[in-house]
């Protein structure tokens, strides 16, 4: 499985335009396996621990889906930016789409793990639905500045 963001249809996961790299919106889906990240069980153990999996069903079933999807999406963005030759510090703009804005504080906790320095400029939007199913809670698009060698 490729660790970079993979589109679900016929469009580019990312494109370079001069010194800028534009990432398409990333959702928590692995197209190669046709699976959606639905909770802690769908991400690596190290990530589950980092995100605070409790082992308590009532807590993990509520927080797990948005935390796991947030981690997966940001990890795919990290991998994609690295494949383009950059680092997360090069990402200067994020647009985050939520099915439910009440999920923003959970996502924000995860975002801080990926952007430890100055955070990127951000836009947050609540939407009524996202493709491919109602299980998708978040989509994030990113823009990075990666100067070409002169």
Kindly report, residue by residue over 64-106, the tens digit of the pLDDT.
Answer: 999 999 999 999 999 999 999 999 999 999 999 999 999 999 9
Percentage helix, strand, coil for the chain under 3-state DSSP, each rounded to 5: 35, 25, 40
Q: Would you kindly state where each structural domain of the chain is located, as residue ranges?
A: 14-145
Does the structural domain 14-145 have CATH classification 3.30.1330.40? yes
pLDDT tens column, 19-66: 999 999 999 998 777 899 999 999 999 999 999 999 999 999 999 999
Structure tokens at 22: 């534009």
pTM of the model: 0.91
pLDDT value for 11: 73
Structure tokens at 46: 């190290």
């Amino acid at each position: 499985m490729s660790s970079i963001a993979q589109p679900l249809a016929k469009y580019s996961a990312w494109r370079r335009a001069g010194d800028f790299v534009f990432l398409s919106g990333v959702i928590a889906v692995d197209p190669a396996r046709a699976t959606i990240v639905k909770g802690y069980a769908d991400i690596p153990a190290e990530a589950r621990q980092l995100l605070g999996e409790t082992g308590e069903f009532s807590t993990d079933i509520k927080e797990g889906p948005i935390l796991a999807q947030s981690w997966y999406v940001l990890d795919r963005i990290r991998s994609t930016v690295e494949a383009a030759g950059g680092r997360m510090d090069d990402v200067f703009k994020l647009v985050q789409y939520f099915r439910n804005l009440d999920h923003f504080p959970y996502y924000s906790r995860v975002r801080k793990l990926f952007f430890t320095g100055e955070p990127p400029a951000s836009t947050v939007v609540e939407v009524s639905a996202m493709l491919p199913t109602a299980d998708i809670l978040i989509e994030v698009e990113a823009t990075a500045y990666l100067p070409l060698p002169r």
